[in-house]
Each structure stands twice: as structure tokens, then as C-alpha cells.
Structure 1
Amino acid sequence: MQQPSKLLFAQLALSHSMRLLPVSKMSITLLMDNVTDRLLASSPHAHRPPLGRDGKFLPAPLAEHGFSALIEIQYGGEDGGSVQQQKTYLFDTGTSENGVIFNSDLFGIDLLKIDAIVLSHGHFDHFTGLQSVLKRISRPVRLYAHPDAFLRRWDIFPDGTRLINPVLDEAALKEYGSIIHKNEGPTGLPDEKDPRLIISGQIPRETSYEKGFPPQYAEVEGKGLVHDPLVKDDQALIAKVKGKGLVVVSGCGHAGIINTINYARRLGGTEKIHAVLGGFHLSGRLQEEAIEPTLKDLQSADPDYIVPCHCTGWKAVNTIIQRMPEKFIPPSVGTRFVF
């Protein structure tokens, strides 16, 4: 698989002619992540779930090597002439079949209010809970995913280990009520032309050190097993909070968190980054050489807040804490981040 040209990305973006409109408030609740810490204190931007209710401890939330976030945006009513609106989106569904269901019930979150589901990419630690979520919603719901998210993939490691990845079952997803939208380029929600939230689509790869996922191969019709290190289906969510700047939410960040931030700036029409939240994919021996240049460029990007989740890895997280302690907010399952 070849690297898409910058011209392609320009054409994809221009074809949509979208203008990202601001939201008055954005909240992001971690329904699944690698870490749970029930003793973390709340702060103005991080509202932690309670330990108990009615004099009794609540069950512990589930954590796993996976990611899922409930995104809520509020907008309208600023000029007194329009009604304030709220939209709710689910970004990924974790690596277990029922973990997101368990945690949403525990936190009192009604999945029936979800307006659409977005998949960051086609890896099983982000989509395995999808069928259970669709069963819970029990009505037609839009599902946005890049076409490559449906590829059958293998991980082939330097030591020769070969692992086949679970694959999204498109027929089953439709049977459970999903209305599948395959997006390669930017897509606006809830309105395509004047969105309040942008699904990035394919993210251009511009840095020299963000190399995707080198062990990945994909089965491609007519070509057999093809090296597929770029994970072209990796996409992020972008919102513009009024008076504060862009909030960028990544799933795994296989495109590279710096590439993602740079593209978000172009799509969002502003350089100011208010918050970056999600997986930065800097964990593991194959990714750790990218930590130093990533952190250097992340410092230059100068977001107000950084919430490194999921596959960011303890070495990268500790480096962020050391270099940018005032910007770091620790993630934990059940936390509601408010921007």
C-alpha cells in the first residue's frame, strides 16, 4: 500500500468545503481505557466518578487495553435567536464484548441517546464492543468508519510471530441496526457543510518519525497479503470550543499525534489547540524511538491540556509529566473531561 499524496488529502478536504462552527461546551467521558484509579481527585476539567452511592461502595469500573469515549457537544442559543442543542457520539467501543456496557450502566450513562458511532480505525481493541452497543441501542444508528477499517489484517513481528486480527463483520453490524458510512475524507457532524464536530478521515503523514504500525499487513483483493504499516483508516475527532481552541480526540493515534494535530488545525481553521485526548501510540519497543521527537513537537504545539490515554505508554506519559506537568491530566475510566 502506497502513501496517499498530499494532493489527495487536499482534494478530499476541499471537496467537503466544510466550516467548523464552535461549540459552547464539550465533554468527553472515558467509557473504557487501560487505567482505572478510583482515588483520583476531581479538578475543574476532570470530573471523577463517585466511590459510592447511598452509603455503599459502587462496583469497580472495568479497565482493559482498549478505548471508548462518549462525546457530548452543546451549541446554539448564543445570540438568543436559536435553541441550544446537544449531540452525543460514541467514539470506539473497547476490546471486550461487554466492558463498555458494564461501565455505562455503572456510571448511569444512557447509550440510547447516542446520535452516531464513530470508529477511530479497524483494530479490535476499538471495535469489539460494537455489536453489544448496537444491541443496547436497538434502533438504526449511523456508524462512521474508513473503508480500510474492514480489512482482514495480520501482525507479523520481527521475531517471526504472526497474529491474525479479528475483523469487523459488516453484515452483522447491519443486522444489528448500524447504517454504515464509509468515509475516507473529512466528515461533518451533525451537519456536513457547517459541522460542530469533524471526523478527520485519512490523516496526511508528514513527520519523519511517526511511522504508523510497522508489523501490520492486510489482505487485499487481487494482491494477497500486503505490508500495511500506515493504518490509513486511523482518524480523529475535532471540535472547536468557543473562545478556547480546538479539542482533538484520537483513538490510537497510529497516524501520529503530531500529524493529527497538524491536520486538525487545517480542518479546524485555527492554530490554537485547547486539549489533546486519547491514544498517542508510543508504547512498546517499536514505537519508543518516536517519543523524543513527538514530545518536542507536542511542546511546540502548546496545547492547554494533554490527556494521554490507552496506548500512549508509561514511558511517554512520564515524559509528558516531566516536561509539561501543568498541562497533564491523568486519565481514568469513568472520568468526564469538560472543555
Structure 2
Amino acid sequence: MCDTAGGISEVVESMPRPAHGTAVDPIALEPVDQVEIVTLVDNVFDALLAGDERVRRTAFGATGIVEAPQFENGMTAAGLVAEHGFSALVRVVRNGRTTTLLFDTGMSPEAMVTNAERLGIGFDDLHSVVLSHGHFDHAGGLAGLAARTRSLPMVVHPYAWTRRRLMVPGDERELPTLSRKALDGEGYEVIERREPSLLLDGSVLITGEVDRTTGFERGMPPAHQAWNGTDWAHDPLVIDDQALVVNLRGQGLVVLTGCGHAGAINIVRHAQRLTGVDRLHALVGGLHLGGPAFEPVIRPTVNALTDLSPALLVPGHCSGWRAQHALAAALPDAWVQGSSGTTYRLTA
């Protein structure tokens, strides 16, 4: 997906549109007292990572015992599933009340629910589901979730149903396409929104479409294509990409991304414009900086994030190792290695 760079026509097609000044319709995002983000699925699981006062890790032995006949007692410790996907449980505390959301569901039907079970997390109190976009590595776990929960509201962008394919030489394939009919049949109450959405009495913002305002975050390379009804065409923007935003009282914005196809800096600036809150407290999730097509974006992204100076930075999923190293070097006090089963607790 990220192995080739575009030419002049692709660059022009993916250039950002201007969005200067304050938002036309600003969002009054109510401050919250605490945000807890539990990474249910990420690309890695490392049981040897250390935690601190805001980061709780899942260690060996903390996720139960499973059968393993090759050992003398027939048992072994269970780990957590890591796959090329992302899913996070978000708990928001406001005025003494805790509400839980699910942001993305990973790639495979069982990874997210398996990890949740091993972590002792149930879905009975789940308020709703939010999809960052329609790519299969963020929506694959919906089937596993549906088998274990009641009917749930689900917020998606209407372009999440877009047919897409990758045209990398030697590896040309159509991606799994999310089905609105199937989700309706599984009991999800699908809510399609292109515009920003406020959830939980105005304390959680779903950005909707993100304004593309930077000069360097140009989107996907020509290999990423979408069906427009008559033909396949380059799909640089992945316009259904959206993020989850919370305003932590006295600290600033907490921004959670899926893949960050809109660009990490575009997303943060969009959230700042919508809410009028300038301070970025935390950025967690995929930043899509892996692969040759995106490596030129790493340096300006690092520079912009350094200026934003978040207290917590957790690049996950598709961020890529080169970006991880660059961000860790530039923001050593904020950067934290992501891993399946990690909990980030941020308090006002």
C-alpha cells in the first residue's frame, strides 16, 4: 500500500483544501475528569514493557492459563493477540459517571474479543461503537462483537462502505468491503455522519471529515484505489477517516486516531479549530507513517508534534518503526511504546 510515491498529478489531486481561522460552527466540548484508553488490539504485544503512574501494562500470567499439551502439566500462560489492526476501549469519567465507548475493532473477527476476555473486560456496559474508517483492519472484529453484545449504536462516515483495492505490482487485490446490510442484520444501529458528532452529553467529539490543511500530509499513494461507480480511481484522501476527541479538564485535548489517514497534524489542528482548545494533551493511535511513500512525511510531522508538545504520545498500529524512533528521539518524555493490552489513564 505504501511502496510507491505519486507523480505531479497525484500530488495535485491530494493537495489540502484551505480551512483558515476558527470553525464556522464551533463545538462546545464539555470537559471531562478522566479518560482511560485500553488498547485491545495493536500490531504488537510486549509483556516485558514497564508501566508508570499513567500507563498500566499487561504482563505474563495476567491473562489466564490455556491448555498446552507439550508442557508437563498440560498448561501455559496465555498472551494477547497482536495483529495488523487497531481497537481501543475508551472510558470517560465526568461528574462521577463512567461511560464506555469502543473505537475500532481490529482486523480478525476474534482478536479483539479474545483479548477483552483475557483482560477481564466485558461489553455489557458499552454505550456505542465508533469506526475511524471502513478499512478491514479496523472493522474486522465487528462480527465477534455482535455475537457477544446487544444491539449497539455505531457511528460511521457514509463513505465507510467504499469499495477499495491495492494495485501494487505483483500483489493486486480488492480489500474486504464493509457491508451496511450485514451490520444492520447483526443488530447494529448504524448512524452515518460526515459532520462532527457529539456523544455522551457533549463530552466526546467524533470529528467527521477532517480538513486537510498541511502542505505535507498528502494521503495515500496511487496504489490505493476506490470504485467510483463506473471505474477504479486513485483514492488519496480516505475521506471517511475520523478521530475521537476528549477535552480533559485543565489539561487539553486527548486525540485518538485509527490510522490517521487524514494526517496526524491535520487531525489535531482540526480538533483544535472545532473545539477552540489549543492545548494537545495526548495523541494515541495510528499515524500512518510507515513505508517509503510516507517516510518523507515523518520529519515535518515530528517537527509539528514537537511544537504541539503533548504530554503523552503513543503512535500505534500503522505508524511505522522509522517514525517511532524519530518521535521517541524528539519527544522522549511524551513518547510511549504501544502494545495490545496497555491502559492509559489520564486525569484532570
1:28 aligns with 2:37: yes
Q: Tell me what 2:57 maps to.
A: 48
Q: Is the 8 A contact 1:291 1:316 kept in 2?
A: yes
Q: 2:152 aligns with which of 135, 141, 156?
A: 141
- Partner residue of 1:217 out of 208, 212, 225: 225
Q: What are the superposed Cα offsets for residues 111-164 of structure 1, whole Å, 9 maximum, x if unpaired?
A: 121100000011111001111112211x2211111111101111223x374220
- In the alignment, does 2:112 pair up with 1:96? no
Q: Is 1:263 aligned with 2:274?
A: no
- Residue 282 of structure 2 is aligned to residue 272 of structure 1: no
Separation in 1, partners of 2:158, 2:267 = 19
> Which residue of structure 2 lines up, in the alignment, with residue 114 of structure 1?
126
Post-superposition offset of 1:172: 1.0
Q: Which amino acid aligns with 2:82?
A: A
Looking at structure 1, the residues matched to 64 and 157 of structure 2 have their Cα atoms a distance apart, in angstroms, of 46
CA displacement, residues 160-184 of structure 1 (integer Å, 9 cap, x when unaligned): 7422010001111111110111110
Question: Could you tell me which of 161, 165, 176 is aligned with 1:150?
Answer: 161
CA offsets per residue over residues 79-106 of structure 1, 9 Å max, x none?
xxxxx22111100011111000100000
Retained in 1: the 8 A contact 2:184–2:190?
Answer: yes
Please report how far the alpha carbon of residue 285 of structure 1 lies from its aligned counterpart in structure 2 after TM superposition.
1.2
What pairs up with 1:169-318 in 2 under 5 angstroms?
Answer: 169-191=179-201, 195-214=202-221, 215-221=223-229, 223-318=230-325
Task: Say what the alpha-carbon RMSD is for the aligned residues.
Answer: 2.2
Distance across 1 between alignment mates of 2:342 and 2:15: 37
1:62–1:103 CA contact under 8 A, matched in 2: yes
Identity of aligned residues (%): 37
TM-score in terms of structure 2 length: 0.88
**Equivalent residue letter for 1:142:** P
2:86 corresponding residue in structure 1: 67
Deviation at 1:324, TM superposition (A): 1.2
SS at 2:297's partner residue?
A: helix
Tell which deviates more after alignment, 42-51 or 29-38.
42-51
Shift in Å, 1:58: 3.8
Native 8 Å contact 2:33 2:248 kept in 1: yes
TM-score (normalised: structure 1): 0.90
> Quick one: distance in 1 between partners of 2:119 and 2:294?
34
Write 1 or 2 for the structure with the bigger share of helix: 1
Structure 2: 5+ residue runs without aligned partners? 1-12, 66-75
Residue aligned with 1:89, SS: strand
**After TM superposition, which residue ranges in structure 1, 4 or more long, deviate above 6 angstroms?**
1-4, 7-11, 54-57
Return 45-54 or 266-275, whichever deviates more.
45-54
Q: Determine if the alignment matches structure 1 residue 165 to structure 2 residue 184.
A: no
Q: Quote the Cα distance in structure 2 between the aligned partners of 1:305 and 1:85.
A: 24
In 2, distance between residues paired with 1:294 and 1:2?
Answer: 17
Q: What is the SS of the residue equivalent to 1:312? A: coil
Which amino acid counterpart does residue 260 of structure 2 have in structure 1?
G
Q: Which amino acid aligns with 2:224?
A: Q
